[in-house]
């Protein structure tokens, strides 16, 4: 289950930030910025809680939803997140998402349904962007 805990636009700021306390696999976190956005930073951290998996795979989509019909769209990015380590991606000039940003976190890389299970832990993501 994912929850968007804050949005900078709620406070009248041009930049938009979102904290997602746990990116899920189903339901996924979809259309976070409510449409097109230029992304400036992405920070992610995975905390393993049980099981054997020492990493999760954060999948980032330029789409309103990761789902297409009964299938899954191909992700724009696939990021391996090792448990207990935080990383931040920065784009000084921004990376434009023409449709919107949607996220999923799974146990395996690649795309489609193989390994499409919820990670054995919590995946936290913070995004900072600017509405297009």
Partner 1 sequence: MSVSVTTPSPGAPNFYYASDTALGGIVSAVGLVSSTSPVPLWALEIDNTLNAVPVYVKLWATFAAGVVVGTSPPTMQFSAPASKKQTYSFAGRGPNLTAGLALTDFGWACVLEPGTSGLTAPTAPVAVRILFQQDPPP
Minimal CA–CA distance to 83: which of 49, 126, 42? Answer: 49
Q: Least distance (Å) from partner 1 to the CB of residue 27?
A: 21
Query: What does the alpha-carbon distance between residue 34 and residue 17 come to, in Å, rounded to a whole number?
Result: 12
Query: What does the alpha-carbon distance between residue 63 and residue 61 come to, in Å, rounded to a whole number?
Result: 5
Query: What does the alpha-carbon distance between residue 75 and residue 57 come to, in Å, rounded to a whole number?
Result: 11
Of 91-120, binders to partner 1 (CB under 8 A) are 91-92, 95-96, 108-112, 114-115
Letters for 37-76 (x = contact with partner 1 by CB under 8 A, - = none) are: -------x---------xx-x----------------xxx
Query: What does the alpha-carbon distance between residue 115 and residue 45 come to, in Å, rounded to a whole number?
Result: 20
Work out whether 3 is an interface residue with partner 1 (CB under 8 A): no
Candidate segments 3-11, 32-40, 63-71, 82-90, binder of partner 1 by CB under 8 A: 82-90
| ∠ CA 81-87-88, rounded to 5° | 130
Q: Which is nearer to partner 1, 19 or 111 (CB)?
A: 111
- Contacts with partner 1 by CB under 8 A lie at 44, 54-55, 57, 74-82, 85-92, 95-96, 108-112, 114-115
């Amino acid at each position: 289950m994912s929850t968007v805990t804050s949005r900078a636009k709620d406070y009248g700021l041009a930049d938009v930030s979102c904290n997602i306390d746990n990116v899920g696999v189903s339901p996924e976190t979809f259309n976070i910025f409510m449409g097109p956005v230029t992304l400036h930073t992405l920070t992610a951290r995975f905390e393993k809680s049980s099981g054997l998996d020492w990493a999760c795979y954060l999948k980032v989509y330029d789409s309103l939803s990761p789902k297409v019909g009964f299938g899954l769209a191909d992700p724009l990015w696939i990021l391996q997140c090792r448990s207990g380590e935080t990383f931040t991606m920065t784009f000084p000039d921004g990376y434009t998402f023409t449709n919107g940003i949607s996220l999923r976190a799974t146990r395996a890389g690649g795309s489609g349904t193989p390994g499409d299970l919820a990670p054995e832990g919590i995946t936290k993501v913070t995004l900072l962007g600017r509405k297009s």
